[in-house]
Amino acid sequence: MTPRILVIRGGAIGDFVLTLPAIKLLRDNFPDAHLEILGYKHIIALAEGRFYAHATRSIEYAAMAGFFIPDAKLAPDLIEYFAGFHQIVSYLFDPDGIFEGNMRRCGVKNFIHISPKLDDSGHAASQLARPLEDLALFLEDPAATIYPGPDDREFASRFFGGLESRVIAIHPGSGSETKNWPVKNWRALGDWLFSLQPAPAILLIGGEADRASHIALSTAWKNYQVYFAEDLPLPRLAALLERCHLFIGHDSGVSHIAAATGIPCLLMFGPTDPEVWAPANPGVKWLAAPGSAMANLPIYEVREQVTQLLQNLNPTLPPP
């Protein structure tokens, strides 16, 4: 019988990417197992058929609510679904053990609960993998990797067409305004990038929450070579980022995706601790804003770091 493993992961994009090293630990050590992920479909699509998961299932299913109620009547289809796994690893917030108790009622015998609430005891990916030590699995590399599929890469090829310019990806948003560098600073940074010879193309990334900054920057840069990636499916966004030469952003889920594709990244941190939350990939550099306030991070310091990263790609590039 083929072993069946289920990983349950809610949370935001960055939370999921930070969990990928733990999921990889399961895949590497149980290569013959069927592994599924239960979570938000638009996020876990990053893993479906892309090395990590053989299948995924949406957590946004009304009948799931009963599993957070003590002694609730559980949906028969979900009882059968959960009982079909030999090992379940859950990252759902379950301080009172209600969800775990209902899993046991389904007949689940091997269940590991891993709290999604993290502290400053180590890198986030390491904390998320630590409870797997109960299975004698020990995480050595906390860097996440994303594997865009053939269809994702075909989309990226069509998107950029025959572009020959170097592409710098910029994401001026995040999940919180307190994590964002001021838009005027992004504009000044972009103006400087476009002054370089040869001038790069910019991939401007965002979603609904980033609309105001996108309008401001797209208006300011209307005479330059700017590509817009707005509200894209995450696997397609990953494929675009994979083709870029550099990514600049904040503490955000998009930044974690960029780092996980393997491209060089410069990330700006304010109220969050980069020692815990910055991607652990070797191509990532980060800057911590003085006083944890993003407005205190000077443009010249960002330019210096960007120049260093670009000079690694092109040693003839002049200093800022």
pLDDT digits (tens, 9 = 90+) for 194-244: 999 889 999 999 887 788 888 899 999 999 999 999 999 999 999 999 999
| Residue 162 pLDDT class (50, 70, 90 cuts) | confident
Give pLDDT, residue 213.
Answer: 87
Mean pLDDT within 158-186: 94
Confidence at residue 39, expressed as pLDDT on a 0 to 100 scale: 98
Q: Average pLDDT, stretch 265-283? A: 97
pLDDT of residue 318 exceeding 50 = no
% the chain with pLDDT above 90: 90
Map out the domains of the chain with their CATH numbers. Answer: 4-135 (3.40.50.2000), 150-313 (3.40.50.2000)
At residue 11, does pLDDT exceed 80? Answer: yes
Q: Assign 314 a pLDDT band (cuts: 50, 70, 90).
A: low
Please give the pLDDT value at position 142.
Answer: 98
Average pLDDT value over all residues in the chain: 95
Residue 186 pLDDT more than 50? Answer: yes
The 3-class SS string of the chain reads: CCCEEEEEECCCHHHHHHHHHHHHHHHHHCCCCEEEEEECHHHHCCCECCCCECEEEECCCHHHHHHHCCCCCCCHHHHHHHHCCCEEEECCCCCCCHHHHHHHHCCCCCEEECCCCCCCCCCHHHHHHHHHHHHCCCCCCCCCCCCCCHHHHHHHHHHHCCCCCCEEEECCCCCCHHHCCCHHHHHHHHHHHHHCCCCCEEEEEECHHHHHHHHHHHHHCCCCCEEEEECCCHHHHHHHHHCCCEEEEECCHHHHHHHHCCCCEEEEECCCCHHHHCCCCCCEEEEECHHHCHHHCCHHHHHHHHHHHHHHHCCCCCCC
